[in-house]
Chains A and B, each alone.
Chain A
Amino acid sequence: MERRFFSDLNDPHERTSKMSDLVSLPQSPPAETMSGTIAAEGHLRKREKPSVSIGIAVRRVLIVEDDVALADFLRAELESQRFTVELLHDGEEAVNALAEERRFDLLILDLNLPGLDGISLIEKVRPTQPRLPMLVLTARNGIDDKVKAFQSGADDCLTKPFSLAELLARVQALMRRNSGLIPNCSQVGDLTLLREERRVERNGRRIELTPREFAILEVLMRNAGRPVSRSTLLEEVWNMPAEPSTNIVDVYMKYVRDKVDHPGERKLTHTVRGFGYELRDADA
């Protein structure tokens, strides 16, 4: 007669999975870890802790799902694939998170959300984030709901109960589609960054960077001509939440600046006071 519903999963933070055997997820370019492990493409990748990834900006996924158990499960599976995942259970909270400076590479959302439903969430976010891939999860099997989701700006739709392999494959496809927007080679003035080769040159001069310095420069190159906040760098490069008391970004930024802007060269790295840094060619 009495029922209890289980909304929690044990060990949601246990971060191992075998799902890489089902789907080879995009990990390009190869990511380094503190332990120095680089897993081969298409093989099982076990990630000890998301926070130790360095060397390339991590892929950040925002999951907005009101079912706590399902959200925790998806987070564990995606984190085991070396994504950094943030969970929210409310549509309104998601709008706020996406309106903030935080950057996400993928949004996975349920249609049936408290606060603000999924369709309204997409409609609010899409105009300001035209390039953010959005994958809709829905338990509604009706064509209308899917059509509405696509018309609002969703990129893909999956009906529950879906296969995890299919979800990961769709995540892969969306990431691949989106990653095509970031070319291998970026150039600002006479500074060139080759992502796959992990090579940086300025006017023929090879610039040797540590993985962390490379990651900082990669984020700045990706956002060339736009200021990038310290908190964004902290999140994308160190995978740490915004922490006003740390000056680690400034310390590393000085290393990058010393290597990029030599005396006599045109200054490409600029400080944006009270905010962060910007990479731009003043003469361009």
Chain B
Amino acid sequence: MSSAMQTPSGTAGAEEQASILLDDSQKLLVDIVNGLHAIAQPLTILRAAIEVLSLPEGGAVDHRRYVGISARQIERTCNLFSCLQDLVTASLREAQQVKFDLWELLGPMIEDRRVLLQASGIGLVVARQDPSEPIVGDAERTEQAIAEVLTLAASLSSRGDVIELHGSRRGGFCELTLQNTRGHGKRISSSDRLSLSLACANIVSQQGKYQLAEDPFCVSLALPVQESG
């Protein structure tokens, strides 16, 4: 999402709002183009594997191999397609604005991830400094955004790394910073970029803020909190 969308609503004039909409549309189109680019990769493999499979000759091993490749690429395509759909939905449909407890929402997912990451020799540390005011936003989109960035942080990490999740209060926002302080020079693929676009769209659509540093990997997500009193 564009920075324009991060501007609190109601402050812009009609003309400015039109330009905000145009920026958002353009950003969405760029994200869609990137998503289509990502989908073209598994489709290429799939098309080629099916071509080979359609040939009359070939041993059972070959057949199994190409069927296996096809299955994996179909799954990859479906995941990307679903991500693209979610991105469009997040960009075009209003997010819910309800109160929810962020840590209650994230707790089970963080525990699951911690166990999974431990098996790969990667640590996940959570440090909270934020008061426990509820978030005002869309719980489902928040959970999806954090799941996406956690998945990406894990894929960019290596054995021995520690992924840190910091929660802090800044202004009227609860800021979550997810980082791996060790840079590995690993690139973010077009598939991963689509996930990040979705995470960004999910956060920004609830009047939140999103920031990314690629190497070392660090994502900051800020969500508005219910002010006490």
Contacts and interface: CB of A to CB of B under 8 A. Distances in A.
Contacts of A112: 37, 190
Contact of A2 (B69, B73, B80, B151): B151
A163 B44 CA distance: 7
Residue from B44, B144, B147 whose CB has the most chain A CB atoms within 10 Å: B44
Q: Which of B42, B48, B144, B192 lies at the interface centre, i.e. has the most chain A CB atoms within 10 A of its CB?
A: B48
A2 B109 CA distance: 10
Interface string A146-189: 00000000000000111111010000000000000000000000
B166 to A, nearest CB: 21
Interface string B14-55: 000000000000000000000011001111111111011001
Contact of B68 (A7, A10, A140, A161): A10
B62 A18 contact: yes
B72 interface: yes
Contact of A3 (B59, B61, B82): B82
A250 interface: no
Nearest to B150: A2
B9 interface: no
Interface residues of A, number: 38
Interface in A103-147: 112, 114, 139-140
Q: Name the residue in B45, B72, B143 with the highest tally of chain A Cβ atoms < 10 Å from its Cβ.
A: B45
Interface string B168-212: 000000000000000000010111100100000000000000000
A5 B79 contact: yes
Nearest to B53: A18
Contacts of A18: 52, 55, 57-58, 62
A19 interface: yes
B189 A7 contact: yes
Given A21-B57, A89-B187, A139-B37, A69 B76 contact: yes
B65 interface: yes
Contacts of A77: 48
A22 interface: yes
Interface string A4-29: 11110111001011110110000000
Nearest to B49: A73
Contacts of B46: 161
B65 A11 contact: yes
B189 A163 contact: no
B147 A6 contact: no
A280 B62 CA distance: 48
A165 B191 contact: no
Interface of A: 1-7, 9-11, 14, 16-19, 21-22, 44, 66-70, 73, 77, 89-90, 112, 114, 139-140, 160-165, 167
Given A1-B147, A18-B57, A89-B187, 8 more contacts: A5-B191, A7-B189, A14-B65, A16-B62, A18-B52, A19-B52, A44-B57, A163-B47
Interface of B: 36-37, 40-49, 51-52, 55, 57-59, 61-62, 65, 68-69, 72-73, 75-76, 79-80, 82-83, 140, 143-144, 147-148, 151, 187, 189-192, 195
